[in-house]
Amino acid sequence: MRRFIAISLFFVSILGSQSVMADCATILKHEMPALRSKETVDLCERFAGKPLLIVNTASFCGFTPQFKGLEAVYQRYRSQGLEILGVPSNDFRQEATDAETVADVCYVNYGVTFAMTDPQVITGPGAHPLYRALTAAAGEAPAWNFHKYLIDRNGQVTGSFASQVAPDDPALLKAIELAL
């Protein structure tokens, strides 16, 4: 009987994960290594059906204090389903060379609680497939650190916001509220 239950649970978990993948928007069918972890951030598993703000970050940039604002936005809207994914990148030569320093900046200096990945390439031919998809959908690649892409619950890119757009900018907040 135990064996039957174990086999049944195995098939239910496989079918359940296939259902999540089937319901997952194409743009979210990616994985990235989590920051300061051996875990992987499976975007479908974690973000499917939720509005998601994706931000390329850097530890030593003039826009780095936006972490504080991003965390405030996350705290304000997470109970309504908003998720934020920070993707550190050294594409603009302002990121730490080791993940531990990146993690300290995010978690210790700014108290970030939203999901963060290990540093990734986000521009050019070597860009992570997620960023290639975001660039294609939005019609623009990040020109600098702290570029923001907003994805709605259906996996559609509904906004692209330049680095200069602060997390508390009324246009960004309105777009987030519409995505909720």
Residues with catalytic function: 61
CA–CA separation, 28 and 5 (whole Å) = 32
Tell me the two tokens of residue 168: 């508390």
CA–CA separation, 172 and 151 (whole Å) = 12
| Neighbour count for residue 139 (Cβ, 10 Å) | 8
Cβ proximity of 103 and 36 under 8 Å? yes
Q: How far is CA 153 from CA 47, 64, 118, 128, in A?
A: 9, 27, 24, 22
